[in-house]
Structure 1
Amino acid sequence: MKLTPPAQAPKAELRPQSDTHHGITRTDDYAWLRDPDWREVMRAPEKLAPDIRSYIEAENAYTDEALAPLAALRETLFAEMKGRIKEEDSSVPAPDGAYAYFTRYAEGAQQPVFARRRPDGTEETLLDCNAEAEGEAYFRIGDADHSPDHKLLAWSADRKGSEYFSLRLRDLSTGKDLADEVPDTSPGIAWDAAGRSFLYVHVDEEHRPLKVFRHIVGTPAAEDRLVYEETDIGFYVGVGKTQSGRYLIIDAHDHQTSELRLIPADAPDTPPELVSAREHGVEYDIEHDEARGRFLILTNADGAEDFKIVEAPVAAPGRANWHDVVPHRPGTLVLSHVAYRDHHVRMERRDGLQRIVIRRLADGSEHEIAFDEEAYDLNLSPGYEYDTATTRFSYNSMTTPSEVYDYDMETRARALRKRQEVPSGHNPADYVTRRIFATAADGERVPISLLYARTTKLDGSAPCLLYGYGSYGISIPSSFSVTALSLVDRGFVYAIAHIRGGMEKGYRWYTDGKLLKKRNTFVDFIAAGEHLAKEGFTARGRIVGHGGSAGGMLMGAVANMAPDLFNGIVAEVPFVDVLATMLDASLPLTPPEWHEWGNPIEDEEAYRYMASYSPYDNVRAQAYPHIFALGGLTDPRVTYWEPAKWAAKLRALRTDARLTLLRINMEAGHGGASGRFDRLKEVALVYAFALGISERA
């Protein structure tokens, strides 16, 4: 099936607006697509300016028309993906004293139900999100955190997709919500030890989480006391709790610097105590070793690029008192850690693969939990308890569905608690997963994870979907995907490029893909595509690039730099208007992002470098792959006008007759549709596009 553009494409008006920085003037013909009252639109989407709404609706209609021939395929893909999900399912209950908490889904339900197992073994529903979402076009749960005394549930929800969460309290003895309601919060709360109050983060009009308040149960939100206010708008704040439950944590951070404050959970009125003053480029994360009267701190201080573990006394936790417990080992990146009463668990990555290391606190002895496959994904689930010898983790690979294990840290016994069921059937032996390496122009070896059907011929004839992200130090896992199988079963090679900007090969892998080294991210992705073609996994012009958010920026950049390598580009909520966004300090994420991309307002070198790759600014008259851009009207992270402007400029300048498609979800934000099945429909749409342009529909 060959997709062709409909006869009449939307054409955005040219309304030039110019700005000048560092003596350089740039003109934006489509800046008018940004609603001047965009903050109000985030809260009330119906207030979008009529001319902008008209244009976006025309683009959506055009996309619907262009993809209409794929309607049956989309339904088939959706049915396949849904058929691989066990509809009536639940998580493994996590014990907390006499109770055990879990989530479950009912057959056909879009949203989760939060529940617990009582001491007598009966199950109790705490919050049915399906009931809360009834009649809502969008519903996303934020918090669902029970109080330490098991009497209350703090829960929050976003009903617009704009990530303004309203927080409520539920009395678990009656199942009714109290009068308490706290608007404009971000997810994450921290209960005090008695369950009488909690810390939360307020989100301001610029959508910045800068203030921490304490809410006392049964009082109006207007009376909540300000506990901490961050004065640097380049920093964000969050709240949490040590695994011991003894300390509440206030975390101020940007992408490369952190600063923590602690409050005793049994004395929540105590002013926050600073752990160690912020130092540019120094990150740290704290856990409490109660029995030994110390904190265990994960940090990159003192040049520990791949992080180390230090200890400090509870009475004097400052940097001057930090002493190494697990020294820095170059090439072994310590990802996270959790302290139980008798054991300290850390997740590490070496040679691109994760591992779990258990340390006995009494004597410092260590052992590693071993895994066999060539590429896999691990996740720790610390649970609620501190005085326990059991930790929980999940394991999966691109061919192996998720398995949840309880692990006895003393006996080293591994108990399988759950294996992900694939109702429609799945035989791992029918598929191949591999880890290969491409060589970038500067000689760096770029890991690529592969999944394909054992019957796929690797003679260059197979189409390939190549996924990438490459920002913020986020590593893309080589994990099992019920959706990717629909491509692989139709002859696609599914590939993930672990490019610079992530941390797959250590912290240096991240720093080599940010700021004035950002172009390495794009070069690595192109090298991955070239290598896949050279080795016969696919061919030039048969690759569909796929990425979202900062990965959408990656898609825009490589479309400009190597358009003939790709048959198509799918960019979800794409951060493509990089220069304009980083020049606007009023946007929600701009000040914190300067540490990732550079500050073009103050730094001419950053301006010129950003201008050299910013996808929107570098669209030019040339042939492009098929382009499919998707956004969300209420997205506060990547605003809707970025993909809208990009699509308008692409259609105006491209010199070929391939598709330029834009779809803006008018009822969602950054994460797309909120229901589990509605999200599958969006994935089916994207994959139908990839199959359609590859003539595999």
Structure 2
Amino acid sequence: MTTFSPLPAPRARQQMTTRVFHDDTFYDSFEWLREKEKSEVIDYLTAENEYCEKVTAQQQPLRQTIFDEIKGRTLETDLSVPTRKGNWWYFSRTVEGQQYPLMCRVPAVREGSVEERFTPPLVESNQQLEGEETLLDCNAFAADLPFFSLGSFEPSLDGELLTFGVDDAGDERYTQYFKNLNTGEISSDRLEDIFAGAFLTADATYLIYSLVDDSWRPYEIRAHKINSSDEDIVLFKEPDQGMWLEANLSEDRTHVVLTSFSSEFTEVRLVPTDNLRTTPMVVIPRTERVQYSVEPIIIAGQQYLIMVHDFEAINSEIVLSPMPTGLGFSDLRQQWIKVMPHRDDVRVEGVSFSSRHLVVTARQDTTVKVFLASLDALAQLKVTDSPAGLTFTEPAGFTEEIYTTGVLSTSVDSPIVRINYTSWVTPTRIFDYFPEQESLILRRETPLLGGFDSEDYLAYRMWAPARDGKMIPLSVVHRADLDKSRENPVLQYGYGSYEVSVDPYFSIPRLSLLDRGVIFVVAHIRGGGELGRSWYQDGKKLQKKNTFFDFVDATEFLGQLDWVDAQRIAIHGGSAGGLLIGATLNLAPEKYCAAIADVPFVDALTTILDPNLPLSALEWEEWGNPIEDPEVYSYMKSYTPYENIRQATYPPIVAVTSLNDTRVFYVEPAKWVAKLRETISPDSPTPLLKIEMDGGHGGGSGRYTQWKETAWIYAFALTYLLDQDGWNESN
């Protein structure tokens, strides 16, 4: 296999700048690449793209083959399971050859049994239902746009108004539109440059939306009276640069819930929807440093809160709390009643309501599960105050070793709970669960073309020892007929930050790896949330290196298996997982045959040292504050990828990024690739930079575009995993 490019790579000129903190001076030759508005920078990025394409040209046939495989397995005229809201069923269709969906609805049955009223209509490809309406043709709307991403899409409860957001640049700034569903007209009233997640009040009089500041932090929540010239109401403005502000409508639609939060604590405010000018009521002040969420609920005519909190409960517990009017935190604690007491082996993740049940999602033994208890039992608990809390049940029927379940939707108007189920080898299934009847009804399984059989694949858990004695859970996926009498290649994936868990999910593109004999492994390293809150805390701030050590130790474990080829292990990660890839390469470049870093956070220290850059101040709760704390500065500098590149032989590397990414600026991978070329041993393959000039943090828009991007990445990995020729030497 050729290990270097015969073509001269673009050379970024060096312009020395210095960064001085805590008596430490860091010299940076490539910071000038941050000047996005300059033609020199755009010309350089364009040259990098051209170079990347030329030297990987031999991979094009494999890319096309993988794209064709993805396309050939996907039902292109696919559709969603209708969801009921008010007197309508809402759903989406995709049409063969079109990038984006059609958003549709049909009238719902209003009479009959519960089963009759809440059984969604059977939607079939290329066949319209009686009374079907297309509310938004995303293809037509996106026709003249360079990028299209649909943000919040919400019809009003009465079915007369639709609001939807559109990002047309990939920068996650949305234009919010309003459409009259009686006349089909889109109103001239619209909001520009707002953040994702806007929603209607129950009466559809107001749109609640967020604004972001110059550092891309949502900091202000407003209420806009639709089709009115009234000045928007500022519900709350969050002054702390280290706090993210979000809003949602309470499950019972009585309050706007305003949540200021970091990764360590929360402050929730409640505003009644019938008087949005009311001063928001604080539930627990941030000074108590409690992480919590709340949902208002009425029991016997009196309003309470269902609260998930972590006070003296690291994995969180659920309590029934009085409204905090006039109560301090100590008094509040004295009066709350435990609904689901804390457990060391269960991490509570959220609550919602159906018309008759409290619905909880919680993680147990790495797996997200759904638990239910009746609201009648909750009312009775208020009387008995049993320290054991409620008795929760789980829907029966989920039997795989590792899988993911989650609540897709609940409503206080409906007795059913919609649940999604998936695993590494099981296409997504959508169920409606009727708790009263303990009936779990399959509504849809993601269809695959070409004779897919889940029995042809295996997924199971293994445990890798970390250097400090911890055991790292691994998800291992491969074909059932994998020949374990010989060594096989591995693509190892990881993330390991922000308590984000990489839960089992089915992927059509991944089959193109598995069918070529590749073993897909996810290392559930510290910094993620797979084993509860402590697993996360042991991989953040001054424990962050555990994340990288765990990933390398997982590789070491895999390489010692008789059926794994230690010389053919490639690694892949994105965003904070891209930081993981960069740090891992600096620790042990010799262990890997290739590395893919998507939108990688590889210049993290430079970013976090500048509070004016997007999200920098928010990152202090995750990584520490290197501006004020010299220990944090020194610790971060010892692992961040850009500062720790060394003169060693590195494997083939590609950094994939987007010009308009607002989360991880393109400049981080651009600088990283430039410095890699200047620093690593000359016998290393030339690192590559692939940049989407119209995309955002998730790359380009449209399903076909995303399939092509995935095919590109997998072809790059397979080139080295299968020991093929990686470079085009004919140029």
Name the TM-score class by shorter chain: over 0.9
Instruction: Please say which of residues 282-291 and 294-303 is displaced more in the overlay.
Output: 294-303
Residue 409 of structure 2 corresponds to 382
Residue 74 of structure 2 corresponds to 85
The code of the aligned residue for 2:12 comes to A
2:543 is aligned with 1:514? no
The code of the aligned residue for 1:690 comes to A
2:369 is aligned with 1:342? no
The Cα shift of 1:220 comes to: 4.7
Residue 703 of structure 2 corresponds to 676
The Cα shift of 1:117 comes to: 1.5
Task: Provide the C-alpha distance between the structure 2 equivalents of 1:541 and 1:13, rounded to a whole number of angstroms.
Answer: 35
Change (3 A) 1:433 1:535: same
Deviations 1:367-424 (A, max 9, x none): 12242111111121124x2033210101111111111000011221100000110012
Change (3 A) 1:541 1:294: farther
Residue 667 of structure 1 corresponds to 694
Q: Structure 1, unaligned stretches of length 5 or more?
A: 39-47
Deviations 1:306-337 (A, max 9, x none): 01001112474864324222111112111111
The Cα shift of 1:299 comes to: 3.1
Task: Provide the C-alpha distance between the structure 2 equivalents of 1:294 and 1:448, rounded to a whole number of angstroms.
Answer: 45
Instruction: Name the SS of the counterpart of 2:190 in structure 1.
Output: strand
2:332 is aligned with 1:321? yes
Instruction: Name the SS of the counterpart of 1:667 in structure 2.
Output: coil
2:448 is aligned with 1:422? yes
Instruction: Name the SS of the counterpart of 2:258 in structure 1.
Output: strand
The Cα shift of 1:358 comes to: 0.6
Residue 237 of structure 2 corresponds to 229
The Cα shift of 1:122 comes to: 1.9
The Cα shift of 1:281 comes to: 4.1
Which of 125, 128, 135 lines up with 2:137 in the alignment? 128
The Cα shift of 1:651 comes to: 1.1
The Cα shift of 1:4 comes to: 4.3
The code of the aligned residue for 2:701 comes to S
2:639 is aligned with 1:650? no
Which of 452, 457, 471 lines up with 1:431 in the alignment? 457
Instruction: Name the SS of the counterpart of 1:421 in structure 2.
Output: coil
Task: Provide the C-alpha distance between the structure 2 equivalents of 1:58 and 1:190, rounded to a whole number of angstroms.
Answer: 42
The Cα shift of 1:279 comes to: 3.6
Q: How many corresponding residue pairs?
A: 684
Instruction: Please say which of residues 315-324 and 395-404 is displaced more in the overlay.
Output: 315-324
Instruction: Name the SS of the counterpart of 2:62 in structure 1.
Output: helix
The Cα shift of 1:298 comes to: 4.1
Contact 2:357 2:374 in 1 (8 A): yes
Residue 174 of structure 2 corresponds to 165
2:271 is aligned with 1:271? no
Deviations 1:260-308 (A, max 9, x none): 1122223333332222211464211112322443444443332210010
Contact 1:235 1:252 in 2 (8 A): yes
Tell me the TM-score normalized by structure 2.
Answer: 0.91
The Cα shift of 1:595 comes to: 0.5
The Cα shift of 1:194 comes to: 1.6
Deviations 1:653-683 (A, max 9, x none): 1112313110111111111011111111100
Deviations 1:673-696 (A, max 9, x none): 111111111000000000112235
Task: Provide the C-alpha distance between the structure 2 equivalents of 1:115 and 1:325, rounded to a whole number of angstroms.
Answer: 39
Instruction: Name the SS of the counterpart of 1:69 in structure 2.
Output: helix
Change (3 A) 1:354 1:193: closer
Residue 45 of structure 1 corresponds to none
Instruction: Name the SS of the counterpart of 1:132 in structure 2.
Output: helix
Instruction: Name the SS of the counterpart of 1:465 in structure 2.
Output: strand
What is the percent sequence identity of the aligned residues? 38
Task: Provide the C-alpha distance between the structure 2 equivalents of 1:365 and 1:657, rounded to a whole number of angstroms.
Answer: 60
Instruction: Please say which of residues 400-409 and 323-332 is displaced more in the overlay.
Output: 323-332
Matches within 5 A, 1:109-188: 109-119=98-108, 122-188=131-197
2:614 is aligned with 1:588? yes
The Cα shift of 1:459 comes to: 4.6
Which of 62, 71, 88 lines up with 2:51 in the alignment? 62
The code of the aligned residue for 1:493 comes to I
Contact 2:464 2:553 in 1 (8 A): yes
Task: Provide the C-alpha distance between the structure 1 equivalents of 2:23 and 2:41, rounded to a whole number of angstroms.
Answer: 31
Task: Provide the C-alpha distance between the structure 2 equivalents of 1:456 and 1:349, rounded to a whole number of angstroms.
Answer: 31
2:26 is aligned with 1:26? yes
The code of the aligned residue for 2:348 comes to V
Instruction: Please say which of residues 8-17 and 361-370 is displaced more in the overlay.
Output: 361-370
Residue 359 of structure 1 corresponds to 373
The Cα shift of 1:49 comes to: 0.8
Residue 531 of structure 2 corresponds to 505
Deviations 1:87-125 (A, max 9, x none): 111111111221111222122221122221124752111
The code of the aligned residue for 2:720 comes to I
Deviations 1:342-366 (A, max 9, x none): 2111111111122211111212442
Deviations 1:1-22 (A, max 9, x none): 7564142111111111002111
Contact 2:494 2:572 in 1 (8 A): yes
The Cα shift of 1:440 comes to: 0.2
Which of 423, 428, 438 lines up with 1:397 in the alignment? 423
The code of the aligned residue for 2:715 comes to A
Instruction: Name the SS of the counterpart of 1:177 in structure 2.
Output: coil
Instruction: Please say which of residues 638-647 and 10-19 is displaced more in the overlay.
Output: 10-19
Residue 41 of structure 1 corresponds to none
Deviations 1:20-65 (A, max 9, x none): 1110100001111111xx5xxxxxxxxx311111111111111001
Deviations 1:453-487 (A, max 9, x none): 12222356211110100000000011111111100
Instruction: Name the SS of the counterpart of 2:649 in structure 1.
Output: coil
The code of the aligned residue for 2:677 comes to R
Task: Provide the C-alpha distance between the structure 1 equivalents of 2:78 and 2:206, rounded to a whole number of angstroms.
Answer: 33
Q: Structure 2, unaligned stretches of length 5 or more?
A: 110-129, 378-389, 725-731
2:400 is aligned with 1:373? yes
Contact 2:602 2:669 in 1 (8 A): yes
Instruction: Please say which of residues 154-163 and 459-468 is displaced more in the overlay.
Output: 459-468
Instruction: Name the SS of the counterpart of 1:680 in structure 2.
Output: helix
Residue 295 of structure 2 corresponds to 287
Task: Provide the C-alpha distance between the structure 2 equivalents of 1:318 and 1:400, rounded to a whole number of angstroms.
Answer: 49
Change (3 A) 1:343 1:603: same
Tell me the TM-score normalized by structure 1.
Answer: 0.95
Residue 613 of structure 1 corresponds to 639
The code of the aligned residue for 2:277 comes to D
Residue 43 of structure 1 corresponds to none
The Cα shift of 1:539 comes to: 2.6
Residue 601 of structure 2 corresponds to 575
Instruction: Name the SS of the counterpart of 2:706 in structure 1.
Output: helix
Matches within 5 A, 1:607-646: 607-646=633-672
Task: Provide the C-alpha distance between the structure 2 equivalents of 1:237 and 1:215, rounded to a whole number of angstroms.
Answer: 17
Residue 598 of structure 1 corresponds to 624
Deviations 1:553-610 (A, max 9, x none): 0000000001111111100000000111111111011001000001111000000000
Residue 38 of structure 2 corresponds to 49
The code of the aligned residue for 1:346 comes to V
Task: Provide the C-alpha distance between the structure 2 equivalents of 1:109 and 1:281, rounded to a whole number of angstroms.
Answer: 48
Residue 10 of structure 2 corresponds to 10
Contact 1:294 1:311 in 2 (8 A): no
2:93 is aligned with 1:104? yes
Residue 199 of structure 2 corresponds to 190
Task: Provide the C-alpha distance between the structure 1 equivalents of 2:537 and 2:309, rounded to a whole number of angstroms.
Answer: 13
Task: Provide the C-alpha distance between the structure 1 equivalents of 2:464 and 2:237, rounded to a whole number of angstroms.
Answer: 46
Which of 243, 263, 286 lines up with 1:255 in the alignment? 263
Residue 61 of structure 2 corresponds to 72
Task: Provide the C-alpha distance between the structure 1 equivalents of 2:3 and 2:445, rounded to a whole number of angstroms.
Answer: 40
Instruction: Name the SS of the counterpart of 2:348 in structure 1.
Output: strand
Residue 469 of structure 1 corresponds to 495
The code of the aligned residue for 2:148 comes to F
Instruction: Please say which of residues 571-580 and 193-202 is displaced more in the overlay.
Output: 193-202
Contact 2:14 2:29 in 1 (8 A): yes
Task: Provide the C-alpha distance between the structure 2 equivalents of 1:359 and 1:376, rounded to a whole number of angstroms.
Answer: 22
Residue 515 of structure 2 corresponds to 489
Change (3 A) 1:205 1:302: closer
Instruction: Name the SS of the counterpart of 1:180 in structure 2.
Output: coil
